[in-house]
């Protein structure tokens, strides 16, 4: 990376840290909005990790809602502490995803996308009818929200989760999974001939991203203190993260992060200043950005602000190259 790119990356890093920390000093309102934005950011990132393999998932709301329900049921019915229930919800959603993934990841493209779309409805119907456990149509409330509703702690929890998911996304970007997922997306036959176990890679990625979605849903439900079929499995938890990832730019960590912050903050801004027309303006902005910025905002920033250094190798590529060189020597 050249000097200009380094200073730009540093500048954006500092800006990102300021934006992430800002809600701690901007009052409870900013923290709750920040919490909501981070929930969507986590979903957008997890969706992006899977789409790097070319598998388009519409199951975000289903897994998010399932995580929320499991966590609240564990706390309300079995007295398991909130934080522990979030972890357990992630594990259980991971197990469910492994079972489902083993079946649905034999499907590709449109068939996989449509099948995942059904997750939300299936889990919703189960929770809706399993009245003795889930509370049925009325949902379930906790005696008290996690941290007794303390917005600082709530925001801090979501921020920590977001940082962990950013690290996870970077791991998928910088490790051998990056090459495996990209190869699967580009050409499965070539990927297979290159020694990649496509099915195992996809199931593993699906399980990991589903766990992330389940944990996000569990944390969200613990922080608001209740679950209900209509709010927990709301389609917005699928559609908004997708819009965020598309707006920010796909196939990387920073696109979904930037898209979530911009769309989340912009949505709130429009809502306050154009109360009755904000949804129209919001939709219009998304359409215009997608039409004229197909690479997303991060793609645009890279194009106009950063100096194109050609094919800067990734860290793993660098180490691989070094290894090859030393072997040749």
Partner 1 sequence: MNRKGISLMLILLMAASMIFAQGGQDSDTIKFGGVWPLGDITGEQASKAAQVAVDEINANGGLLGKQVELIVIDSEFNPEKGAAAIERLATIDKVDFFVGVVSSGVHLGQIPTLKTYKKITMITGAASHLAEEAIGADQEWYFHLHPWDYNQGASYVEGWNAIAEKYSEISIGRWFLAYEEGAFGSASFEATKALFSDMEIDGEPFLSAAAGGGDYSAVLQRAKAYDPDVFIWAGYDADALPLLEQSKAIDFDPALFVGAPPGWPADFGESKLAEDVTLYGLWAPSLNEISEVSAKFYNGFIAKTGTEPATYFAPLGYAAIQIIAQAVEEAGTMDQDAIIAELKKIQYESPTGEVISFGPSNIISNQGIRNQKILQWQNGVQQVIWPFEQATSEPKYPFTPWSQR
Note the residues at the interface with partner 1 (CB under 8 A): 4, 7-8, 11-12, 15, 18-19, 22-23, 26-30, 32-33, 35-36, 39, 125, 128-129, 136-139, 141, 144-145, 149, 151, 220, 223-226, 228-231, 234, 236, 265-266, 268-269, 271-272, 275-276, 278-279, 301, 304-305
Considering the complex, state which of residue 172 and residue 233 has its C-beta at the smaller distance from partner 1.
233
* Smallest distance, partner 1 to C-beta of residue 197, A: 37
How far apart are alpha carbons 139 and 191 in whole angstroms? Answer: 45
Residue with tokens 């939709």, as numbered in its chain: 283
* Smallest distance, partner 1 to C-beta of residue 117, A: 11
Q: How many CA atoms lie within 13 A of 234 on its CB side?
A: 12
* Smallest distance, partner 1 to C-beta of residue 11, A: 4
Virtual CA dihedral for 150, 155, 157, 159, nearest 10 degrees? Answer: -170
Considering the complex, state which of residue 205 and residue 220 has its C-beta at the smaller distance from partner 1.
220
Considering the complex, state which of residue 57 and residue 220 has its C-beta at the smaller distance from partner 1.
220
* Smallest distance, partner 1 to C-beta of residue 35, A: 7
Q: Do residues 39 and 158 make contact, with C-beta atoms less than 8 angstroms apart? A: yes
* Smallest distance, partner 1 to C-beta of residue 1, A: 14
CA triplet 53, 112, 38: central angle to 5 degrees?
A: 60
Considering the complex, state which of residue 33 and residue 198 has its C-beta at the smaller distance from partner 1.
33
Considering the complex, state which of residue 23 and residue 54 has its C-beta at the smaller distance from partner 1.
23
How far apart are alpha carbons 180 and 195 in whole angstroms? Answer: 9
Virtual CA dihedral for 87, 90, 92, 94, nearest 10 degrees? Answer: -140
Q: Which helix (H) or strand (E) holds 240?
A: helix 236-248
Residue with tokens 């940082």, as numbered in its chain: 163
> Tokens standing for 97?
């995803």
* Smallest distance, partner 1 to C-beta of residue 261, A: 9
Considering the complex, state which of residue 38 and residue 203 has its C-beta at the smaller distance from partner 1.
38
Considering the complex, state which of residue 9 and residue 163 has its C-beta at the smaller distance from partner 1.
9
* Smallest distance, partner 1 to C-beta of residue 268, A: 6
> Tokens standing for 156?
């801090």
Q: Which of 128, 104, 124 lies closest to 114, judged by CA? A: 104
Q: Do residues 153 and 32 make contact, with C-beta atoms less than 8 angstroms apart? A: no
């Amino acid at each position: 990376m050249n000097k200009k790119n380094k200073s730009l990356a540093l500048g954006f890093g500092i800006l990102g840290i300021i934006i992430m920390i800002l809600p701690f000093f901007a009052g409870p309102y900013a923290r709750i909005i920040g919490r909501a934005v981070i929930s969507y950011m986590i979903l957008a990132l997890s969706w992006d990790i899977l789409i790097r393999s070319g598998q388009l998932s519409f199951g975000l709301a289903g897994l998010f809602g399932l995580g929320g329900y499991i966590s609240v049921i564990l706390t309300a019915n079995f007295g398991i502490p909130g934080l522990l229930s979030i972890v357990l919800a992630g594990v259980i959603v991971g197990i469910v995803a492994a079972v489902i993934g083993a079946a649905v990841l034999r499907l590709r493209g449109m068939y996989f996308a449509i099948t995942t779309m059904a997750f939300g409805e299936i889990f919703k119907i189960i929770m809706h009818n399993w009245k003795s456990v889930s509370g049925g149509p009325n949902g379930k409330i906790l005696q008290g929200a996690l941290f007794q509703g303390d917005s600082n702690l709530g925001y801090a929890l979501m921020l920590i989760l977001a940082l962990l998911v950013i690290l996870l996304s970077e791991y998928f970007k910088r490790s051998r999974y990056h090459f495996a997922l990209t190869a699967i997306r580009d050409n499965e036959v070539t990927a297979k001939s290159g020694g990649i176990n496509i099915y195992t890679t996809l199931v593993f990625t699906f399980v990991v991203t589903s766990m992330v979605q389940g944990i996000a849903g569990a944390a969200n439900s613990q922080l608001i203190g209740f679950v209900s079929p209509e709010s927990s499995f709301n389609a917005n938890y699928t559609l908004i993260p997708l819009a965020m990832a598309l707006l920010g730019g796909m196939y990387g960590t920073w696109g979904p992060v930037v898209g979530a912050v911009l769309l989340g903050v912009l949505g709130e801004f429009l809502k306050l200043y154009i109360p009755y027309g904000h949804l129209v303006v919001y939709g219009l902005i998304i359409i215009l950005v997608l039409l004229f910025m197909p690479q997303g905002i991060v793609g645009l920033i890279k194009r106009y602000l950063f100096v194109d250094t050609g094919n800067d190798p990734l860290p793993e590529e660098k180490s691989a190259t070094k290894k090859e060189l030393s072997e040749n020597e």
